[in-house]
Amino acid sequence: MAANSSIILSNIDFDTHKNTLKQYLRSQTRFQDYDFEGSNMNILLDILSYNTFHNMFYLNMAASEMFLDSAQLRDSIVSHVKELNYTPRSFKSAEATVNISIISTDLSKRSIPVVKGQTFTSRFNNRNYTFSTNEAIFLENYTINPNNT
């Protein structure tokens, strides 16, 4: 393609880009009298325009994620703020040491499973906090109080 071609690469519109490609081909001596509408060349131009449209969209989205001001994906923002020596608070989960009361009539069990995702609710300074386990835990060798809890 010549450096001074009439193809405008800033058009993201599918139809405008396809028409620009047709105009470029009509400017060539080989395709001056060619009927682009009723030929297989029209399908090839559709594919080329479709591919160009997708590439432009992808590059626009990728370029916008490269900067903190225009990034929309959380992973991109977290990556940018790491360069500023900032770690978002949400990457650090809260931890708690808890006392669990278990009411059971079967005193023979020596291990109690706590499934992954089990939630626990706590109250501190008139605020409720909910914790969940990130893995399965087995409470082993727990002591039994006289009231079976």
3-state SS class at 124: strand
pTM above 0.85, yes or no: no
Report yes or no: 12 and 56 within 8 Å, Cβ to Cβ. Answer: yes
- Residue 20: which of 108, 36, 110 has the closest Cα? 36
- Identify the pLDDT of residue 66: 93
Q: What angle do CA 15, 17, 18 make, to 5 degrees?
A: 65
Residue stretches of the chain with pLDDT short of 70: 1-12, 90-94, 98, 100-111, 139-149
Token reading at 35:
């009927």
- Identify the pLDDT of residue 11: 57
Separation of alpha carbons 49 and 146, rounded Å = 78
Residue 119's CB is within 10 A of a number of other CB atoms, namely: 8
- Residue 66: which of 57, 55, 75 has the closest Cα? 75
